Amino acid sequence: MILDFHTHNQQATEAIISVMPQEFDPQQGKRYSVGIHPWRSQQVTPAMLDALHTAVRHPQVAAIGETGLDALRGAPLPIQQSLFQEHITLAEQLGKPLIIHMVRTSQQVLKAWRESQRAVPWVIHGMRGNPRVAQPLIDAGFYLSFGPRFNPATVAATPLDRLLIETDDNTATAIHQVAQAIAQARGIPTQHLITTVTANAHNLLPQP
Ligand SMILES: [Zn+2]
């Protein structure tokens, strides 16, 4: 069962644990996503890319990322875009979904989607944008993953079958607290939300 769709806490269970390629050290029974974070896009080495290409093939790696585009941090956008493209290609080759970090780059992410094969699900993680940013992503078929900080109107506008929850790098908030807050914003019982996001994760991830 996957409840927390994106965490950097390697101790987590019922979660997709997101790591950089050189950190990947699979523990029994856990599932991971591996990618080069856009904040690290300035320091990419050939060894890191080799490690990425090897790690993503591991059966315990359920998704590719986090990857994506950040207009406020990391390398200049063209460099981030070519690194993002590398992850998109791997995701499509391996049939594993993409976990995307998106900061003030929704137009560029949507453009990358339109130019991609659209063969695997794309998940925007840590979604904080308003409904105006979210709607074109929802229309394009993206999943939206919400953490402790979110825009309630965006949660309310997200179809239940496209909704995921996460803790990301937040150690102060438990995933059940996130579930409670999102359920409240969505106007449904917490248990219904938990059942729904678990089923969504199950549907979009490759079967272990
Ligand atoms: Zn993260």
Q: What is the pLDDT of residue 202?
A: 96
- What is the distance in A from the centroid of ligand 1 to the CA of 166? 9
Q: Taking all residues of the chain, what is their mean pLDDT, rounded to a whole number?
A: 97
Q: Which residues pair with 15 in a beta bridge?
A: 4
Structure confidence at residue 84 (pLDDT): 98
Going along the chain from its start, the domains and CATH numbers come out as 4-204 (3.20.20.140)
Ligand 1 center from residue 201 Cα (angstroms): 17
Give me the pLDDT at residue 101, please. 98
Long-range contact set of residues 199-202: C-beta below 8 Å, sequence gap at least 24 = 200/143, 200/161, 200/162, 200/163, 200/164, 201/2, 201/3, 201/5, 201/16, 201/164, 202/1, 202/2
Q: How far apart are CA 7 and CA 15, in angstroms?
A: 7
Please check whether residue 179 is in contact with residue 194, taking contact to mean a CB–CB distance below 8 angstroms.
yes
Distance 135 CA to ligand 1 centre (A): 22
Angle at 44 between CA 39 and CA 46, to 5 degrees: 160
Residue 159 C-alpha to ligand 1 middle, in angstroms? Answer: 23
168 CA → ligand 1 middle, Å: 5
* 15 Cα to the center of ligand 1, angstroms: 13
How far is ligand 1, taken at its centre, from the CA of residue 207, in Å? 23
Q: 69 CA to middle of ligand 1, Å?
A: 12
pTM, two decimal places: 0.97
Sign of CA dihedral 197, 202, 206, 208: positive
Provide the pLDDT for residue 208. 78
Ligand 1 centre from 117 Cα, in Å? Answer: 25
| CA of residue 42 to ligand 1 center, whole Å | 17
* 111 Cα–ligand 1 center, Å: 22
**Per-residue pLDDT reduced to its tens digit, 145-196:** 999 999 999 999 999 999 999 999 988 899 999 999 999 999 999 999 999 9
Quick one: pLDDT at residue 33? 98
User: 30: burial class by Cβ within 10 Å (0-12, 13-18, 19+)?
Assistant: middle
User: Ligand 1 centre and the CA of 13: distance in Å?
Assistant: 16
Cα(17) to ligand 1 centroid in Å equals 9
Q: State the pLDDT at residue 172.
A: 87
Answer whether 167's CB lies under 8 Å from 148's CB. yes
**List of the chain residues with pLDDT < 50:** none
